[in-house]
C-alpha cells in the first residue's frame, strides 16, 4: 500500500473564526474552509486532516491570545505546529497569482510557505507562569498607554484655562494631580491661599516634602493670572475629572506592578535576572515573556542578540562591502528590555557597565551607539549566567567579559 503524502495545513488566525487551507507535498490544494474559534470545531478539523495523512504539519500566522484555544488544541492532539510570521506571509503573497487579499488566500500562502521552508520556529505549549506574565505585562502596557494619553489630555485642558499652572508641574506625579483634582482655576487657588492649598494637599495625602513648595508655586501662578478665560467652568470640571481618573489609574498601575513582581519572582531565573545590572522585575518579566522562559529556541547568545535586533545585518553589493545596517525584522520588546537595562545600569557610576560605556565613548562612538554596544554585551553576560545558573557580581567573568 502506497504511503499517503505529507499534508501542510495553513491557518489564517482570526478573532471569531479562522480560515484553513490544506495542501499536499506537490502544492495541490486539498480543501479550504472557514473554521469557528471553538474547541469542538477545531477537534473535528483535526479528525478530518488525520483522514488525509498520518504526516501532518500545521502552520499559523499568529501566536497572540486570540490564537490560544487553537494552539492549545493543536498541541494537545498533535505536536507539530509552526509559526509563520505575518511579515513573511505578506511578502510571500505577492508571489501568488492575483492582487486580491482574502482569508482563504492568506491561509494557502501560510500552508505553501511552511511547505517550502523548514526554518520556521516551532510553537510550544506556553508555561502557566509565562502565560500569566504575558497577560499581566500586556495589561500594564495598555494601562501605560491610557496614562500617557490621559496626562496629555489633562495638560491640554488645563493649558486652555490656566497656562501658568500647566507649565509649573509635572503631571505624571501624584501631588500635582491631587492639586488640580480639587483646585485648578486661578480664582479657586487665590481664594484658598498658600495655607488653604497646603491643607487641601495634606488632607488628600499628597507627598509631604512637596506640599509647601507646591502650594506656594500654585498661588504664585494664580496671582499672575487675574482673567477668567472663556469656557473656564466646563474645562475646570473636566480637568478635575481627568485628574481623579489618573489618580485611580496610578493606583491600578502600581497594583499591577506588584502582581508582576510577585509572579516574576516565582520563576527559577528570577534571582539571576535581577542580579544583572539594570534588570528589575518589570524588564525581567518582559524577557521571560518574549523568550517563553526557555532559551532552547536560541542556539547561542548571538541568536538571542539577533532576535533583539542588536546584531547589524550586511547590505553588500558589488564593490560595496562592510555596509552594516540595523535589521528591520526583530522583536521590539526584547530590544527594549536590553536597551533599557543598559540605560539603567549606567546609574552605577563605578560599575562594569559604566566602564564599558566610557570605553566605547572613548572609541568615538556617540551615546546611542555606545548604549547599543552595552546592550549587546548584556545579552552575552545574561546568556552565560542563565546557562551556568549563577548570579551576577562585579567580579563575574563572562565569555564577552563585561569589563572596561
Question: Given a cut of 70, is residue 3 above it in pLDDT?
Answer: no
Pairing of strands 17-24, 29-36: antiparallel
Query: Residue 36 — very low, low, confident or very high, per pLDDT cuts 50/70/90?
Result: very high
Write out the three cell numbers for 227.
Answer: 482673567
Each residue's pLDDT tens digit, 284-340: 999 999 998 888 778 889 989 998 999 888 877 777 777 777 788 788 999 999 999
Could you give the C-alpha distances from 240 to 70, 126, 228, in angstroms and in order?
45, 43, 17
Pairing of strands 121-122, 17-24: unpaired
3-class secondary structure, 293: coil
Query: Residue 396 — very low, low, confident or very high, per pLDDT cuts 50/70/90?
Result: low
Q: What is the DSSP string of 184-202?
A: -SHHHHHHHHHHHHHHHHH
Question: Given a cut of 50, is residue 398 above it in pLDDT?
Answer: no
Q: What is the per-residue pLDDT for 314?
A: 80
Which of 175, 179, 158, 177 has its CA nearest to residue 167?
158
Write out the three cell numbers for 282.
Answer: 518589570
Provide mean pLDDT across the span 109-113: 91
Q: What is the per-residue pLDDT for 401?
A: 47
Amino acid at each position: 500500500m502506497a504511503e499517503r503524502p505529507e499534508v501542510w495545513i495553513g491557518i489564517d488566525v482570526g478573532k471569531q473564526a479562522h480560515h484553513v487551507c490544506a495542501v499536499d507535498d506537490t502544492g495541490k490544494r486539498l480543501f479550504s474552509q472557514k473554521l469557528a474559534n471553538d474547541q469542538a470545531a477545531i477537534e473535528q478539523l483535526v479528525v478530518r486532516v488525520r483522514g488525509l495523512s498520518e504526516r501532518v504539519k500545521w502552520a499559523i500566522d499568529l501566536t497572540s491570545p486570540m490564537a490560544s484555544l487553537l494552539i492549545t488544541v493543536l498541541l494537545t492532539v498533535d505536536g507539530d505546529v509552526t509559526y509563520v510570521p505575518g511579515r513573511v506571509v505578506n511578502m510571500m503573497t505577492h508571489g501568488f497569482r492575483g492582487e486580491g487579499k482574502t482569508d482563504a488566500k492568506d491561509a494557502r500562502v501560510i500552508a505553501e510557505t511552511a511547505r517550502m521552508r523548514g526554518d520556521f520556529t516551532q510553537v510550544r505549549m506556553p508555561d502557566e507562569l509565562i502565560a500569566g506574565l504575558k497577560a499581566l505585562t500586556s495589561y500594564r502596557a495598555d494601562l501605560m498607554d491610557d496614562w500617557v494619553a490621559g496626562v496629555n489630555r489633562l495638560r491640554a485642558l488645563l493649558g486652555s484655562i490656566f497656562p501658568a499652572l500647566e507649565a509649573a508641574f509635572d503631571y505624571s506625579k501624584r501631588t500635582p494631580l491631587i492639586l488640580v483634582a480639587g483646585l485648578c482655576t486661578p480664582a479657586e487657588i487665590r481664594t484658598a491661599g498658600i495655607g488653604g492649598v497646603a491643607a487641601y494637599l495634606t488632607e488628600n495625602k499628597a507627598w509631604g516634602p512637596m506640599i509647601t513648595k507646591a502650594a506656594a508655586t500654585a498661588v504664585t501662578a494664580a496671582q499672575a493670572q487675574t482673567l477668567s478665560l472663556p469656557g473656564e467652568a466646563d474645562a475646570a470640571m473636566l480637568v478635575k475629572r481627568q485628574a481623579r481618573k489618573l489618580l485611580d489609574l496610578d493606583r491600578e498601575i502600581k497594583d499591577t506592578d506588584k502582581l508582576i513582581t510577585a509572579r516574576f519572582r516565582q520563576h527559577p531565573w528570577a534571582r539571576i535576572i535581577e542580579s544583572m545590572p539594570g534588570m528589575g522585575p518589570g524588564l525581567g518579566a518582559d524577557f521571560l515573556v518574549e523568550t517563553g522562559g526557555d532559551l532552547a529556541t536560541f542556539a547561542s547568545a548571538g541568536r538571542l542578540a539577533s532576535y533583539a535586533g542588536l546584531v547589524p545585518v550586511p547590505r553588500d553589493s558589488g564593490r560595496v562591502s562592510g555596509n552594516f545596517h540595523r535589521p528591520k525584522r526583530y522583536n521590539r520588546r526584547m530590544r527594549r528590555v536590553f536597551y533599557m537595562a543598559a540605560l539603567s545600569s549606567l546609574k552605577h557610576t563605578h560599575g562594569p557597565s559604566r566602564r564599558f560605556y566610557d570605553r566605547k565613548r572613548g572609541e568615538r562612538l556617540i551615546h546611542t551607539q555606545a548604549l547599543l554596544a552595552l546592550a549587546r554585551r548584556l545579552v552575552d553576560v545574561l546568556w552565560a549566567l542563565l546557562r551556568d545558573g549563577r548570579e551576577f557580581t562585579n567580579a563575574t567573568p563572562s565569555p564577552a567579559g563585561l569589563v572596561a
